[in-house]
Amino acid sequence: MSGSHFVADLATVLGVGAVTSVLARLAKQSSILGYLTAGLIVGPYLPVPIFADEGRVAAMAEFGVVLVMFSIGLEFRLSKLARVLPTSGFSGLVQIAALLWGGASLGIALGWNSVEALFLGGAICISSTMVVTSAFAQRPPEDDVRDHILGILVFQDVAAIALMAAMTAVAAGGELTVGEMGRTLGMLGLTLLAMIAGGLLLVPPLVRAVARLESPETSTVAATGLCFAMALLAEHAGYSVALGAFIAGILVAESGRGHPTEHRIAPIRDMFAAIFFVSVGMTVDPRLALEHLPTSLVVTLFVLVAQVASVTLGGVLSGNGVRRSLSAGLALGQIGEFAFIIGGIGLAAGVARPELQPILVTVAVLTSFTTPLALGLAPRAVSWLDRTIPGPTRRFLSLYEEWVERFVVGGSAPGPIRRALRAIILDGTVLIVLAALLAYGFGRAEAWLVEHGGALGERANAVVVAGALLVALPFAVGLVRNSVALGRLAEKTLVPPGAPVRPAVGRAMRTMVYACIGVGLVLPSMAVLRPVFARPAVGLVAVLLASLAVVVVWRSRQGLEGDFLSGAQRIARALAPAEGPSEPGPAESTRLSNPALLPGLDAVARVELGAKSQAVGQTLADIDLRARTGATVVAIYRSGDRVVLPTGREELGAGDVLAITGTASALEAATRVLLRGGDQ
């Protein structure tokens, strides 16, 4: 009898979910919207004569959580994290810290206590991989934009695992304490180390051995069995089943069989993921959702604005340029599967407000609508912002983007730069941990000194603060020293051998490095300390510091125009043919070999337009080259005349020779756009 009930629930959920998801896709919306709607229909709150048992559906939904996390792990290899951390990882760090701090601040402003507000911040700080990939299927972005967005999502997925463990500790204790958080995070680290280290010895060889049997069925069953076994192991260790499934995916990916396994389990994953979202929809009382609709709208507006601002800021500071950064910010403006998991932890423990779930569902529904719209608006938004940014600043950001790609992402950074970066990360992490220990353990340390400290107990407050400052001083000094060293090294590597000294460009580069370090330190610190320092003054101080940073960065741009004008003139002279003006020939693209043409930009493309190039007869503004590709035209040579730092209004003609600067990928994309339709 129970079996027939199980089949009836499965048939009801999948049948209604199929209809609503088809309607959602016909309306060009995410399938998640259809699944959430199906949950409302089959749930207990609407007077619809279709019903599924909430408990049995929730049990099946747990399969969806396990399989989704397993699939995320299959796409994730340890080497991949090392590649995305320098740029996409920094953007993800800024985004998570900003949303966690801002969400907790918003919750406190709404009258929630610190734990309830923390669950709101934790639930809205992770974007939805499922919504983003669904939107990509409708509006595929450029490859480099897609890679950047997926890199941020990978970082978010990893951070979400740690966040879920921390939230579990908060839910178990109902309060934030240093001892509980320290024990939880320490045990989490040891558990991860043991599971990954032990799994790397056993799982990859075993998966490869099964694969040699050349039986897709056996390989799929073995991988899925491993997934649920690791999920069960994590649950017995006191953690979420999602953690074990994620690690299982990583281990299978390390065997080199991640992609085939992901392809085989995708239909099963999609089915149970649909059941998961249906189960979320079943928990929502529409009357409660309508009652808290104003709050949901406020949270939605905050998510949209904060995601765009934080991801764009983090992307620009990490050298991803305006185009990739703003496009990523618009694409990631939603919440999804992790919001419901994190919110569910608080609700199950009774430490989160009952209205949190309907608020999250409403926000998820609204942002699933806005994400495809935002992706459609991204090209126009990038074009508008590109035209708004002053020319010298725009050209410097292109220079900074190329420097980051060459010396940070490209792996060609000199030893001193790598050592400075490692030291800054270590010092900054230690300072954030010390700040958290002081904030959450101040009361206990003070009480212990009063009871056991004798004469020191009379000044316990000052003694605790002085002790913390004394411990932090070496790390703070190291952070400042290494930051200054990195800024100087950045300036030194910016100017290639033989190039004239460029003080304005060097000053701006140092400022960008300092701003990046400052944001990477301050925002995570604010997120960690927000539940303790709930006073509005903290937010005011943060705004003042951010404003000061903007002013400093803005002032550092003074003198850049002269540097760029001088470099562009040198490039323009290098464009002319050795024999003088010549007749227009076939379209072609080459690289200028002189590395001292413009500081930091060793890669300068020389593109000659042919008579059949589609760019002929159009202006650079018409083509929108910079916004579309991230590359900048710094000079044009035509029939003996030179145009230095073109305004974009110049009409291009056959035989024009353009000098383009930017990253390697930007130069490749710009060359394709300019020579498309040519006779090269």
Whether residue 419 has pLDDT greater than 80: yes
589 bridge partner residues: 607
Q: For the range 206-215, what are the long-range contacts, defined as Cβ-Cβ under 8 Å and sequence gap of 24 or more?
A: 207/251, 207/252, 207/255, 207/257, 208/255, 208/256, 208/257, 211/255, 211/257, 211/260
Contact 220, 207 (CB under 8 A): no
Q: Token digits for 122?
A: 């934790």
Taking only the tens place, the pLDDT of each residue in 143-191 is: 778 878 878 887 887 788 778 777 776 776 655 555 555 666 667 777 7
Quick one: pLDDT at residue 334? 86
Range among 1-5, 452-456, 634-638 with highest mean pLDDT value: 634-638
The number of beta carbons lying within 10 Å of the beta carbon of residue 116 is 19
Please say if the pLDDT value at position 338 is more than 90.
no
Integer Cα distance of 228 and 242 in angstroms: 10
- Report which of residues 649 and 441 the model is more confident about: 649
pLDDT top residue among 511 and 295? 295
Tell if the pTM clears 0.85, that is, is over it: no
Give the Cα separation of 489 and 502 in Å (integer).
14
Phi, psi dihedrals of residue 333, rounded to the nearest 5°: -80, 65
Region 271-287: mean pLDDT is 82
DSSP letter at 651 equals: B
Tell me how many helices (H) and strands (E) the chain has. Answer: 26, 5
Q: Report pLDDT for 301.
A: 94
pLDDT at 321: 83
Mean model confidence pLDDT for the chain:
78
Give pLDDT, residue 412. Answer: 56
pLDDT given for residue 300 in this prediction: 93
Stretch 477-490: mean pLDDT, rounded?
Answer: 86
Only one residue has tokens 């792996």, namely 411
Residue 364 confidence (pLDDT): 83
DSSP states along 481-494: HHHHHHHHHHHHHH
Per-residue b/e over 634-671, b at no fewer than 16 CB within 10 Å? bbbbbeeebbbbbebeeebbbbbbbbbbbbebbbebbb
Question: What confidence category does residue 452 fall into, taking pLDDT thresholds of 50, 70 and 90?
Answer: low
**Cα–Cα distance measured from residue 183 to residue 77, given in angstroms and rounded to the nearest whole number:** 27
Q: Between residues 306 and 574, which one has the greater pLDDT?
A: 306
pLDDT surpassing 60 at residue 679: no
Which sign does the torsion angle of CA 108, 298, 285, 288 carry? positive
According to the model, what pLDDT value does residue 152 have?
87
Q: Within 10 Å of residue 357's Cβ, how many Cβ atoms?
A: 23
Q: What is the pLDDT of residue 539?
A: 59
* Mean pLDDT along residues 428-442: 76
**What pLDDT is attached to residue 497?**
54
Taking the CA atoms of 588, 591, 593 and 599 in sequence, report the sign of the dihedral they define: positive
Q: What is the mean pLDDT of residues 388-414?
A: 73
Judge contact between 132 and 153, C-beta under 8 A: yes
pLDDT digits (tens, 9 = 90+) for 255-269: 888 788 888 888 888
* Residue found by looking up tokens 């006191």 in the block: 238
Which stretch, 189-203, 293-307, 575-589, has highest mean pLDDT? 293-307
Given this model, what pLDDT does residue 546 score? 62
pLDDT of residue 349: 77
- Is the pLDDT score of 680 beyond 60? no
The string of pLDDT tens digits covering residues 85-131 is: 677 888 988 999 989 988 988 888 888 888 888 889 988 998 887 77
Give residue for tokens 């803005």: 554
The per-residue pLDDT for range 510-551, each reduced to its tens digit, is 888 888 888 888 888 888 777 666 555 555 666 666 666 666
Average pLDDT over residues 501-505: 63
Average confidence (pLDDT) over 265-282: 84
Task: Say yes or no to pLDDT of 394 above 60.
Answer: yes
**Is 80 exceeded by the pLDDT of residue 41?**
yes
Confidence of residue 581 (pLDDT cuts 50, 70, 90): very low
391 versus 108: which is more confidently predicted?
A: 108
Determine what percent of the chain falls in helix, strand and coil, rounding each to the nearest 5: 75, 5, 20
What residues contact residue 568 under an 8 Å CB cut-off, 6+ apart? 598, 634, 635, 644, 645, 659
Q: What are the distances in angstroms from CA 463 to CA 83, 157, 439, 455, 467?
A: 44, 40, 14, 11, 6
Q: What is the pLDDT of residue 308?
A: 92
Q: Is the pLDDT of residue 212 over 60?
A: yes
pLDDT-based confidence at residue 3 (cuts at 50, 70, 90):
low
Give the pair of three-digit tokens for residue 168. 């579990």
The alpha-helical segments, DSSP class H, found in 495-559 are 503-529, 536-556
**What pLDDT shows up at residue 609?**
84
Average pLDDT estimate for 633-651? 82
Domains of the chain, with CATH numbers? Answer: 2-388 (1.20.1530.20), 391-558 (no CATH), 566-675 (3.30.70.1450)
pLDDT at 95: 92
pLDDT at 666 over 70: yes
Query: What is the distance between the alpha carbons of residues 601 and 407, in angstroms, rounded to a whole number?
Result: 12
